[in-house]
Structure 1
Amino acid sequence: MRFNPKARLDTGRVRDSGRGGGGGGSMGLPIPGGKMAGGGAGAVIMLLLFLVLAMCGGIDLGGGGGTGSGGAFDTSRMAESDTNRYENCQTGADAQSDPDCARVAVENSLYDYWSGALGGDFRPATMQTFTGSVSTACGAATSQVGPFYCPADQVIYLDTSFFAQVLEGQLGGPGGDFVEPYVIGHEYGHHIQNLLGTMGRVRTQQGPRSDAVRLELQADCYAGLWTRSATTTQDADGNVLISELTEQDIRQAIAAAAAVGDDRIQQKTQGQVTEETWTHGSAESRVRWFRTGYESGSLKACDTWAVDTP
């Protein structure tokens, strides 16, 4: 993955809150539909904290209509204490040499892609990195929940140590420059679902055909959509942001999608696979839907509710 050194970065939607109170230390290994290893609270994790969505109203657990939010995003949290972690991220050259600035460039690329894809329906998400724990409009969260999107404040929350400690260290997932962009692309996909009201379609929460799994697989498909067009996205001056994505980058995204399949995680954590508790989909289905977005380039092709078995 290579960034255009002439591109200008916009840090206005990315911040870092540093270390929160408590919740520090090593991350527990997530168990889909079960408990966090190490005695954490009940969690359904990996790339989206489903219980956080339910708590915030991002998923309608009853029989009512959708709860997607198309209004302007809440910027109040952006005014809170910021460590200025990203203040030196100015250009694509910075993104090429600094992982923090690469994160900014990826956010800028997602912003440009989805603003073009949705037009007047688009409102940007913001992204906040943290260490240990963080306060959100969906409640307090620790590093153990992994990267997640909160629909109540339309913020993607990310403890960057997740990739080395959990994805690679505990789940045996891949390393590489494009693993984190895939995850951020998936989380931004949840923001798009929030804008379009898709979260309101969720009625069933577990099982390979559940609405929760369909929601997750669609976010993987949306990540694939962005990946397909990433090298065409531009900064505010019309400069291309990402100058090159290689086949190796795509393989990293596919390997990461497979690593966070419910079946892979369950096999790692409990030694057996229980499909009825799935919340995110199998490794095979996560890869397949990422490929669907990447190969089709069509928002309509990402309708995971249109098939019997997603």
Structure 2
Amino acid sequence: MQFDDNAKLDTSQVQDQRGGGSSGGGPFGGGAPSGKVVGGGIVGLIVVVIGIVLGISPNQMGLSGSATDTAPRTGAAADLAQTCATGRDANTQGQCRIVAVVNSVQAYWTNEFRQRGGTYQPAPTVFFDRPMRTGCGAADPRTGPFYCPVDRKVYIDLNFFATLQSQFGAEGGPFAESYVVAHEYGHHVQNLLGTLRAAQDGRTGATSKSVRVELQADCYAGLWSKNATMTINPATGRPLITAVTSDDIARGLDAAAAVGDDTIQSRAQGRVTPDNWTHGSSAQRQQWFATGLQTGDLARCDTFG
């Protein structure tokens, strides 16, 4: 995966709330209008994995009671802006790569909405590494990356990607990270379209609405992947991402498999219980990511039909 060295990155789309400010690093989830996390599927601790797979929010797991309100950190934001200025920085630094992917994904959806006569409303990504409060309640880095539809933000602990490899067996790599980010923004698109609110019935299982929401977000991630090298960077008039290889795609598919409910349950509890699924099997997640990737057609992402 390669970025245009001369492209200007828009760090205003990322809010750095990390305790130590801007630092190198190398993110899964979702939220419901009620404040309950519905898409959190990847976390650093097995006990948390079990909670997320069962559809339990961070508060219910007792992980976030010490969360504190966190105001925007202007110093960290300025540091990130200086560190992640161009595509060259994205090619060499993990945190800048995520900034670039956020820029590309949002540019793609801006164009997609415009072509359909609508207006895409951007959502910021929040880098965090400590307990904090969100529009969906208290959050902890151990719950993994997630999207909160109440405040319309994506929350990412950059250390998650190392966990994805070390504890979930994913091959990792830049495009695996990009797939995760694109999945979270898929939830934002669902929120804008009203899909998240319509799908909240509290049920789990292989055919539940919760699973269909997650698989659709995977398909949306595939749509962006299909169009990544054709999505224009508004600052330069050229694509921000200049190359996506077959190995990149393979690593994206591998990451999708690593976060399937059946794979996570096997690792966490030694057995598979489809009645508790909230995200879908590894095969389903790969299938729907591939559907978006191969077709590039939003209409083909109808996991509810």
TM-score > 0.5, shorter chain as reference = yes
Return closer, same or farther for 1:80/1:86 CA change in 2, 3 Å cut-off: closer
**Paired residue for 2:89?**
94
Q: What residue number does 2:52 align with?
A: 44
Alignment partners' CA distance in 2, 1:210 and 1:181: 26
1:181 aligns with 2:149: no
Q: Which amino acid aligns with 1:275?
A: P
Change (3 A) 1:37 1:128: closer
How big is the shift at 1:86?
1.7
The answer to whether structure 1 residue 109 and structure 2 residue 104 are counterparts is yes
1:66 maps to none
State the Cα deviation string for residues 17-57 of structure 1 (Å, max 9, x = none).
Answer: 1139xxxxxxxxxxx99x995765973269xx8747xxxxx
Distance 1:11 1:36 in 2: 27
Bigger Cα displacement from structure 2, 175-184 vs 80-89? 80-89
Q: Distance in 2 between matches of 1:78 and 1:302?
A: 37
Structure 1 range deviating more: 269-278 or 173-182: 173-182
Which aligned segments of 4 or more residues in structure 1 are displaced greater than 6 angstroms?
Answer: none
Shift in CA distance, 277/36, structure 1 to aligned 2, threshold 3 Å: farther
Moved more, 37-46 or 246-255: 37-46
Instruction: Extract unaligned runs of 5+ from structure 1.
Output: 21-31, 53-76
The letter for the 2-side match of 1:170 is Q
Q: Please name the residue that 1:152 is paired with.
A: 150
Q: Would the aligned equivalents of 2:44 and 2:160 in 1 still touch at CA under 8 Å? A: no
Superposed, which structure 2 residues align to 1:263-278 within 5 Å?
A: 263-278=262-277
1:82 is displaced (CA, Å) by 5.3
* Alignment partner of 1:227 out of 214, 221, 225: 225
The equivalent residue for 1:289 is: 288
TM-score by length of 1: 0.80
Counterpart-to-counterpart distance in 2, 1:11 and 1:83: 11
Match of 1:207 among 205, 208, 215: 205
In structure 1, the partner of 2:250 is: 251
Counterpart code for 1:213: V
What's 2:37 paired with? none
Q: Distance between the aligned counterparts of 1:194 and 1:126, measured in 2?
A: 14
Q: Which amino acid aligns with 1:266?
A: Q
Structure 2 unaligned segments of length 5 or more: list them: 21-39, 59-69
Kindly tell me: are residues 102 and 299 of structure 1, through their superposed partners in 2, closer, same or farther at Cα, counting changes over 3 Å? Answer: same
TM-score, normalised by the number of residues in structure 2: 0.82
Please state how far the C-alpha of 1:81 moved relative to its aligned partner. 5.1
Moved more, 36-45 or 121-130: 36-45
- When residues 276 and 265 of structure 1 are mapped into structure 2, their CA distance, relative to the original with a 3 A threshold, is same
Higher alpha-carbon deviation: 256-265 or 127-136: 127-136
* Identity fraction in percent: 44
Output the CA distance in 2 between the equivalents of 1:81 and 1:45: 36
Per the TM alignment, residue 132 of structure 1 is displaced from its structure 2 partner at its CA by 2.7
Cα displacement (A) at 1:13:
1.1
114-123 or 79-88: bigger deviation: 79-88
Structure 1 equivalent of residue 130 of structure 2: 132
CA distance, structure 2, for counterparts of residue 135 and residue 204 of structure 1: 23
Given that 2:113 and 2:120 are in contact with CA atoms closer than 8 Å, whether structure 1 keeps it comes out as: yes
Give the 3-state SS of the residue equivalent to 1:243 in structure 2.
strand
The letter of the residue matching 2:150 is A
Deviates more, 1:120-129 or 1:211-220: 120-129
- The aligned runs of 1:57-76 (5 Å cut-off) are none
Instruction: Judge which range, 210-219 or 137-146, deviates more.
Output: 137-146
> Deviation of residue 111 (structure 1)?
1.2
CA distance in 1 between partners of 2:217 and 2:130 (Å):
26
Letter in 2 for 1:188: Y
- For 1:215, give the aligned amino acid: V
Measure, in 2, the Cα distance between the counterparts of 1:50 and 1:241.
Answer: 38
**Matched-pair contact (CA < 8 Å) for 1:14–1:127:** yes
Q: CA RMSD in A?
A: 2.6
Deviation digits for residues 235-288 of structure 1 (CA, Å, limit 9, x no counterpart): 223121000000000000000000000000011111110000000000000000
Give, as a single letter, the amino acid of the residue that structure 2 aligns with 1:197.
Answer: G
